[in-house]
Amino acid sequence: MKNPKIKNIRKELLSDNWYTLNKYTFDYQKEDGTWEEQHREAYDRGNGAGILLYNKKKGTVILTKQFRMPTYVNGNDNGMMIEVCAGLLDGDNPEDCIRKETEEETGYKIADVERVFETYMSPGSVTEILYLFVGAYEEKMKVGDGGGAIDETENIEVLEYPMATAIRMIASGEIKDAKTILLLQYAQIHGLVSN
């Protein structure tokens, strides 16, 4: 931590029920040189990785669909979200994590992944860095049904869409997940999949 405008950081644990919620109290130096005490809460769930699987020849992408409680309590009528495959690093490096998550969630065993972004998805309240990847898939890479790890109660549905359909789903609001929108737009801009 190298910002000279921040000092006297104090951390108070508020909850560690699912992940960790901390309250930070610190002194912040304003532009006029005076110091003020500020308070912020930050949710720490660890860092994660996500991947858009694409098939250039077929013009398709693999997405997942699952129930997300936070969206359900904030206006998503059925709580279901269409997303790219993703998961927490859990001590793995991002590349190993996303290969493992891809096989668990989608049933595809991929070797080559390309890191395209590192992003803070909600920097006002969540500490997580999300490492975003793209990776090509073919039918011969399918080694299972996917659906997620049973012990993680994920209940994931695997979806395959034409790229053009996925892009239209952003415009229609069927896809609202930020990491998914970023990766679909990246694929579109870079011509990974024709639409």
| Domain residue limits, the chain | 6-44, 48-189
**Which CATH architecture fits 48-189?**
Alpha-Beta Complex (3.90)
Query: What's the mean pLDDT in 2-8?
Result: 95
0.85 cut: is pTM over it? yes
Q: Which of 2-16, 94-108, 137-151 has the lowest mean pLDDT?
A: 137-151
DSSP 78-124: T-EEEE-EEEE-TTS-HHHHHHHHHHHHH-B-----EEEEEEESSTT
Instruction: Name beta bridge partners: 24.
Output: 11, 40
pLDDT tier, 57 (very low <50, low <70, confident <90, very high otherwise): very high
Q: Which of 166, 154, 47 is nearest to 98 (CA)?
A: 47
**Residue corresponding to tokens 């936070």:** 70
